[in-house]
Amino acid sequence: MSATSAMEVSAVYEGYQADFDRLQDGGDMPGVSAPLKLLRQKAMEHFGRLGFPTTRMEDWRFTSVSPIATRPYALGALAEVTTDQIVRFLIPELPGALLVFVNGRLSVSLSETGALPPGVAVQCLGDALATGLDTTEPCLVSLGTEGEQPFSALNTAFLQDGAVIRIDDGVVLNDPVHVVFISTAPGEAVVTHPRVLLLVGENSQVSVIESYAGLRDAGYFTNAVTQIEAGAGSVVHHCKILRESLQSYHVARMQARLARNAVVTSNSITLGGALVRNDIGVVLDGEGAECTLNGLYLAGGKQHIDNHTTIDHASPHCASHELYKGILDGDGRAVFNGKIIVRLDAQKTDAKQSNKALLLSERAQVNTKPQLEIFADDVKCAHGATVGQLDEDALFYLRARGLGREEARRILIQAFATDVLNRVRHKPIQMELGRILLDRLPTIATGETA
Amino acid sequence: MLEITGLHASVGGKEILRGIDLSVNAGEVHAIMGPNGSGKSTLAGILAGRTEYDVTSGTARYQNENLLDMEPEERARAGVFLAFQYPVEIAGVNNAYLLKAALNEVRKHRGEPELDAIEFMTLVKKQLAVLEMSPELLNRPVNDGFSGGEKKRNEIFQMAVLEPKLAILDETDSGLDIDALKIVANGVNALRSSDRSTVVVTHYQRMLNYIVPDFVHVLSGGRIVKSGGKELALELEEKGYGWIDSAPEEVKA
């Protein structure tokens, strides 16, 4: 590391420390409880020990976070935002509760939780802590103060606001909960640390959508953490829609722990961001648990999209299904790393992983790596990766039926993506994602490799 | 309708067509027969606009226009239809969606208004019945998971809906059992009229029992070595391709 960048980095750390100190003093949200302060303190120290990752680390080999690590970002503050400004990030005709966070802080005026059934709590973190959520919850502590996740530690150090969704045992919430994180992206570079906590009781059912978006095209930084605790026999649908500005940086970790017979589905749709790193970690922690991870990303221009998933088969008779698809154009770069761990006693594991990348330009690149670590002997594990261009035979077939070249390309690209979009649970979301995709395609898929 | 003169074509430097002359008038059905590797599918592909072949000399004119200068989609819109030997499976593209888009492209070209969903379904259901196809096939991805016979039937179904001026059937009979063959032939025959032409490319005479040609041409070694009426097909069936004296050496397509 050169002397200049070492200085830059140290200035960056000092910036975080100064914002951290202000936050601990109460910042613009006074009345911080002692346990929360302690948790943050531990996390900040942990982050200090870990530091930002570098490409010398195996998990970050293909993704440099230097635009994040060498630049100071001011902690985002609540700003006045109108419904008109965010309406394009909402999903038409999607029922259910809506929580809107602006620069990481809950906007009460934009949020609408409506009448929730008994046994369901949809709150901001502050309220949740005030009404019984314990800062010593393992799910809050472990990510921020243990392990090798510097960004999660940083997120925990700045734990302030966020969405907490708690479902009691035996409660079925039919309508989804949509949590929207908006960055206003003012002139200065701003960081937010969104946190979503989804605690699902036994035999309960819930669907949560997280959307991330920016109001302006600017270089802000979003550092998000989502934690899902899926109780025995619960059914959880999670969908993340990333529509950040094309100049922004987004790092996110989703951690899910599944108890016996829990079923968790995650759909991760990445349509924005200059530099995106999505980490998903799933622990199948009880017999018969099942997870499905689907992903779709678009990487055009100079976008860099990195998806890392880890599925830990820690119990017998668990199943995992994974399908990630990417569309790359221009100088787009993508990374897919899919790790599957099958522990010694996780017999009868059934794990399937597939990832496919469609390269529309000669300069687009994808680094894809399945990583299977199997310690049990009676398991089924299958993985496959394909990287390719549009099928020339299919293109000719469509053209021979009268469809123009551009139209034929568009149809084939859409078909490639629809495969994943159709797995998203709610029809209004499918429709909206289809529409967004269509909007993006003219800029991503002109067929020009210039 | 179609006027091919001295057509030579090669792929990867290897000459496959060595001077094809063929004239197809409106209302006629021509059968092009020949052994494997004679260049039948190459000819069909070139007419539809496949780019993997180099046309080294000769011309092909369709309705007095230079067919070889037209993009594949321009040919389709102008009324040229190729029923593929191997219809392509396209997962994620709905059969009905493709057909409606294709039909509206053709109609736009003819200066006709686009069909709305109801008009389209009315037309489509009629043709589905002719080809004895389940309406459920409409909502499946194009050819995806279709049996060989279903794929071929789907080709003719598309043709029936698009009503081309010049239909080129490339080995449409292969992989069909006799019942399916009759159904497909019915579909083709229903479209026969004085202003349409059909070119049936086939290895076997079998389909020509049901789609009776006005002319039969034998293609061998990249040339038409014999032409005649429908009885020529029967002769070929009986004697095989070996008796054609002038058959030049085998050329792989």
pLDDT in tens, A25-45: 876 666 678 888 899 999 999
**Residue A177 in 3-state DSSP?**
strand
Number of separate domains in chain B: 1
The answer to whether A315 and A289 have CB atoms below 8 angstroms apart is yes
- Which of A396, A402, A419 has its CB closest to that of B105? A402
Residue B169: inside a domain: yes
Separation of alpha carbons A393 and A62, rounded Å? 33
Residue A115, pLDDT > 90, answer no
Separation of alpha carbons B197 and B93, rounded Å? 30
Q: What is the pLDDT of residue A145?
A: 84
Q: What is the pLDDT of residue A30?
A: 64
B72 and A CB contact within 8 Å: yes
Q: What is the pLDDT of residue A4?
A: 52
Q: What is the pLDDT of residue A144?
A: 82
Share of chain A above pLDDT 70, in %: 95
Residue B248: inside a domain: no
B118 and A CB contact within 8 Å: no
Report chain A residues whose CB lies below 8 A from the CB of B154.
none
Disruptive mutation site among B73, B86, B95 for chain A (greatest number of A CBs within 10 Å):
B73
Share of chain A above pLDDT 90, in %: 79
Residue B47: inside a domain: yes
A423 and B CB contact within 8 Å: no
Report chain B residues whose CB lies below 8 A from the CB of A411.
93, 98, 101
Residue A359, pLDDT > 90, answer yes
Report chain A residues whose CB lies below 8 A from the CB of B79.
none
B190 and A CB contact within 8 Å: no
- Residue by residue, DSSP assigns A201-242 as -TT-EEEEEEEEEESSS---EEEEEEEEEE-TT-EEEEEEEE
Maximum Cα–Cα distance across chain B: 56
Report chain B residues whose CB lies below 8 A from the CB of A408.
73
Q: Which domain holds residue B54?
A: 2-239
B212 and A CB contact within 8 Å: no
Backbone angles phi, psi at A18, to 5 degrees: -65, -45
Separation of alpha carbons B114 and B121, rounded Å? 13
Q: What is the pLDDT of residue A449?
A: 36
- Which of A400, A402, A411 has its CB closest to that of B93? A411
Residues 6+ apart with CB under 8 A from A184: A76, A79, A81, A102, A103, A190, A214, A215, A216
- A173-201 exposure pattern, b = at least 16 Cβ within 10 A, e = fewer: beebbbbbbbbbbbeebbbbbbbbbbbbb
Residue B253, pLDDT > 80, answer no
Q: Per-residue confidence at B148, pLDDT binned at 50, 70, 90?
A: confident
Report chain A residues whose CB lies below 8 A from the CB of B91.
415, 419
B115 and A CB contact within 8 Å: no
Token look-up 């908006």 returns A182
Residue A112, pLDDT > 70, answer yes
**Which bin fits B163, alpha (ψ -120 to 50), beta or left (φ > 0)?**
left
Inter-chain contact B76–A400, Cβ cutoff 8 Å? Answer: yes
Tens digits of residue pLDDT in B20-67: 999 999 999 999 998 888 899 999 999 999 988 999 999 999 999 999
- Residue by residue, DSSP assigns chain B as -EEEEEEEEEETTEEEEEEEEEEE-TT-EEEEE--TTSSHHHHHHHHHT-SSSEEEEEEEEETTEEGGGS-HHHHHHTTEEEE-SSPPPEEEEEHHHHHHHHHHHHHHHHTPPPP-HHHHHHHHHHHHHHTT--GGGGGSEETTT--HHHHHHHHHHHHHHH--SEEEEESTTTT--HHHHHHHHHHHHHT--TT-EEEEEES-SGGGGTS--SEEEEEETTEEEEEE-HHHHHHHHHH-STT-TT-------
Distance from the B224 Cα atom to the nearest Cα atom in chain A, whole angstroms: 26
Residue B251: inside a domain: no
B151 and A CB contact within 8 Å: no
Inter-chain contact A419–B91, Cβ cutoff 8 Å? Answer: yes
Q: Interface pTM (ipTM) of the complex?
A: 0.94
Q: What is the pLDDT of residue A78?
A: 83
The answer to whether A224 and A250 have CB atoms below 8 angstroms apart is yes
B117 and A CB contact within 8 Å: no
Distance from the B223 Cα atom to the nearest Cα atom in chain A, whole angstroms: 25
Angle at A440 between CA A321 and CA A425, to 5 degrees: 35
Residues 6+ apart with CB under 8 A from B24: B1, B2, B3, B30, B166, B197, B199
Residue B244: inside a domain: no
* Minimum CA–CA partner of B109 in chain A: A402
Q: Per-residue confidence at A266, pLDDT binned at 50, 70, 90?
A: very high
Inter-chain contact A399–B72, Cβ cutoff 8 Å? Answer: yes
Residue B245: inside a domain: no
For A112, which DSSP code? B
Share of chain B above pLDDT 70, in %: 96
Inter-chain contact B90–A412, Cβ cutoff 8 Å? Answer: yes
The answer to whether B90 and B34 have CB atoms below 8 angstroms apart is no
A403 and B CB contact within 8 Å: yes
Report chain A residues whose CB lies below 8 A from the CB of B98.
398, 401, 403, 411
Count CB atoms within 10 A of the CB of residue B56: 12
Tens digits of residue pLDDT in A223-248: 999 999 999 999 999 999 999 999 99
Q: At what angle do helices A150-157 and A34-50 cross, to 10 degrees?
A: 150
Q: What is the pLDDT of residue A1?
A: 46
Count CB atoms within 10 A of the CB of residue A117: 12
Closest CA to A179 of A244, A123, A131, A128: A123
Tens digits of residue pLDDT in A79-107: 899 999 999 999 999 999 999 999 999 99
Q: Per-residue confidence at B87, pLDDT binned at 50, 70, 90?
A: very high
Residue B198: inside a domain: yes
Strands B141-142, B90-94: pairing kind: antiparallel
Separation of alpha carbons A368 and A357, rounded Å? 9
Closest CA to A198 of A250, A144, A265, A148: A265
Inter-chain contact A415–B50, Cβ cutoff 8 Å? Answer: no
Disruptive mutation site among A296, A397, A414, A422 for chain B (greatest number of B CBs within 10 Å):
A397
Report chain A residues whose CB lies below 8 A from the CB of B157.
none
Mean pLDDT, chain A, rounded, equals 91
Separation of alpha carbons B236 and B240, rounded Å? 5
Residue A443, pLDDT > 80, answer no
Q: Which helix (H) or strand (E) holds A12?
A: helix A3-24
Q: What is the identity of the amino acid at A365?
A: Q
A391 and B CB contact within 8 Å: yes
Extended strands (E) in A20-119: 74-75, 97-102, 105-106
Residue B246: inside a domain: no
- The token duo for B80 is 């040229």
For A256, which DSSP code? E
Range name among A139-153, A176-190, A404-418, B46-60 with the lowest pLDDT average: A139-153
Inter-chain contact B88–A404, Cβ cutoff 8 Å? Answer: no
Disruptive mutation site among B90, B94, B156 for chain A (greatest number of A CBs within 10 Å):
B90
- Which of A397, A399, A415 has its CB closest to that of B91? A415
The answer to whether A230 and A236 have CB atoms below 8 angstroms apart is yes
* Minimum CA–CA partner of B91 in chain A: A415
B131 or A179: which leads in pLDDT: A179
**What Å distances lie between residue B187 and A434, B160, B173, CA to CA?**
36, 7, 13
- Which of A394, A404, A407 has its CB closest to that of B90? A394
Inter-chain contact A401–B162, Cβ cutoff 8 Å? Answer: yes
Distance from the B58 Cα atom to the nearest Cα atom in chain A, whole angstroms: 22
Separation of alpha carbons A307 and A280, rounded Å? 8
Inter-chain contact B101–A403, Cβ cutoff 8 Å? Answer: yes
Separation of alpha carbons A178 and A426, rounded Å? 12
User: How many Cα atoms within 13 Å fall on the side-chain side of residue A156?
Assistant: 34
User: How many Cα atoms within 13 Å fall on the side-chain side of residue A241?
Assistant: 27
Separation of alpha carbons A320 and A313, rounded Å? 8
B87 and A CB contact within 8 Å: yes
Residue B11, pLDDT > 80, answer yes
Count of pairs with CB atoms under 8 A, one residue in A, one in B: 74
Distance from the A82 Cα atom to the nearest Cα atom in chain B, whole angstroms: 38
Count CB atoms within 10 A of the CB of residue A22: 12
The percent helix, strand, coil of chain A (3-state, each to 5) is 25, 35, 35
- Which of B73, B75, B82 has its CB closest to that of A404? B73
Mean per-residue pLDDT, A285-308: 97
Residue ranges of A 182-201 with Cβ closer than 8 A to chain B: none
- The token duo for A421 is 């979009």
CATH number of the domain at B35, please. 3.40.50.300
Strands B215-220, A120-124: pairing kind: unpaired
Tens digits of residue pLDDT in B227-244: 999 888 888 888 877 776
